[in-house]
Amino acid sequence: MPHRVIACALSLSLVACSAADDVSAQAADPVIVAATQTFSVEEVATFNEPWAMTFLPDGRALITEMSGTMQLWSADQPPVAVSGIPAVDYGGQGGLGDVVLHPAFSENGLVYFSYIEAGDDDTRGAVVARGILVVAGDDSVSLNDVEVIWRQAPKVEGRGHYSHRIAFSSDGYLFIASGDRQAMEPAQDTSNTLGTIVRLNDGGSVPDGNPMDGEASAETAQIWSYGHRNILGLAFAPDGELWDMEHGPAGGDELNRVEPGINYGWPVVSNGEHYDGTDIPDHDTDTSFRAPAIWWTPVIAPGGMIFYTGDMFPDLHGDVLIAGLSSNAIIHVEIDGDAAREAGRFTFDNRIREIEQGPDGTIWILEDGEEGRMIRLTAGG
């Protein structure tokens, strides 16, 4: 389908942040933002509750819709539904989730995706599966030989905090974010994978060198880090370090540098509080837990995140870009070692669920909800 230009010369100014916004645990002085980034903004497609996207080497993209449909988007024709997706338990925060390509996709055609699987007695949990992408024509796309390679354990009741983001490291390991499922306490119990990030081989087996390798529980051996709440952003920096972006409770959204064996504190500590107003001790009250590099109150309600590595926007190169739901924004964060600071926000009219970088350095976003638009950002305007 042809692109529809919705704002051919829209200038999106960076919003200055102040210390009063509680932007960062490290920032004592106001953050002054002088720069302005100008985008050309195009709507290219519309999807039903889109959740994630990933680009193929040729510029086409796979888009997941929460109800259980994956679409192949192309610039020159309407999106085509991808067959072969297993049954998805859709509802609440759950459904079809993330989608990424195997690092050797050009050779093996493997696509990894996450979704929610129903269990016994009204329980459910996230799974990660993979299949071979086969495009047989303009209107025939399928995932063949689909196999589940990981299951969140245990399955529990409820429909929240699945997380199920996926990322590959440069050395080929598979990292999966596993949310606390709104059960809280399991995030401190390393006999299960709730509230953790796990590291696996690309086929789902446990690699040597995980922090708790050799422990009695098979789930324990998968764990890379724990004490997490609801991770909706997971990405590797250009230097190879893993970072996550997770929702706090009432306040306290946090960006963390993820290291092996580290406990990030949830639910014992948080820079937010419980929804009923009950206090939670801040991270600085117990240094045995790792504090976030930056945290937000009021919250930004993060969706996906990327490290921008393209050349189209040189002022953003190497920085974090976070999709903001309640904040209706792309949040721009600069990293300096273990520290981080918010450099500004690009504001939009709607909730932003997902952000990705195109093969040519363009920035792409998916709006949240029904009739969520897929929007391309290019230089100029």
147-206 pLDDT, tens digit per residue, is 999 999 999 999 999 999 999 999 999 999 999 999 999 999 999 999 999 999 999 999
Distance CA 226, CA 290 (A): 10
Alpha helices in the chain (DSSP H): 105-108, 218-222
- Spatial neighbors of 364 by CB under 8 A, at least 6 apart, are 53, 55, 61, 355, 356, 357, 358, 374, 375, 376, 377
How wide is the angle at C-alpha 240 spanned by C-alphas 234 and 246, nearest 5°? 20
Distance CA 234, CA 243 (A): 6
Average pLDDT of span 21-35: 34
Check residue 372 and give its pLDDT. Answer: 97
Amino acid at 258: V
Which of 193, 274, 201, 279 lies closest to 228 in space, CA to CA?
A: 193
Average pLDDT of span 289-316: 97
Check residue 137 and give its pLDDT. Answer: 82
Q: What is the pLDDT of residues 75-134, one digit of tens each?
A: 999 999 999 999 999 999 999 999 999 999 999 999 999 999 999 999 999 999 999 999
Length of the chain, please? 381
Is the model's pLDDT at 379 over the cut of 50? yes
Is the model's pLDDT at 10 over the cut of 70? no
Q: How confident is the model at residue 215 (pLDDT cuts 50, 70, 90)?
A: confident
Q: What is the pLDDT of residues 242-281, one digit of tens each?
A: 999 999 999 999 999 999 999 999 999 999 999 999 999 9
Residue 247 is among the residues annotated as catalytic for this protein: no
Contact 110, 144 (CB under 8 A): no
Tokens of 300: 């930004």
Contact 303, 365 (CB under 8 A): no
Characterize the bridge pairing of strands 4-7 and 196-200: unpaired
Q: How confident is the model at residue 39 (pLDDT cuts 50, 70, 90)?
A: confident
Which of 122, 153, 129, 164 lies closest to 143 in space, CA to CA?
A: 129
Q: Give the mean pLDDT of the chain.
A: 90
Contact 355, 365 (CB under 8 A): yes
Based on its alpha-carbon atoms, the radius of gyration of the chain, rounded to whole angstroms, reads: 20
Inter-CA distances, 289 with 66, 114, 187, 273, 339, Å: 34, 29, 13, 17, 16
Identify the active-site residue in 3, 102, 161, 247: 161
Check residue 24 and give its pLDDT. Answer: 39
Check residue 34 and give its pLDDT. Answer: 31
Q: What's the CATH class of domain 4-53+157-379?
A: mainly beta
Check residue 28 and give its pLDDT. Answer: 27
How wide is the angle at C-alpha 62 spanned by C-alphas 56 and 66, nearest 5°? 160
Inter-CA distances, 205 with 114, 128, 176, 179, 345, Å: 17, 13, 13, 20, 40
Check residue 38 and give its pLDDT. Answer: 75
Average pLDDT of span 59-72: 98
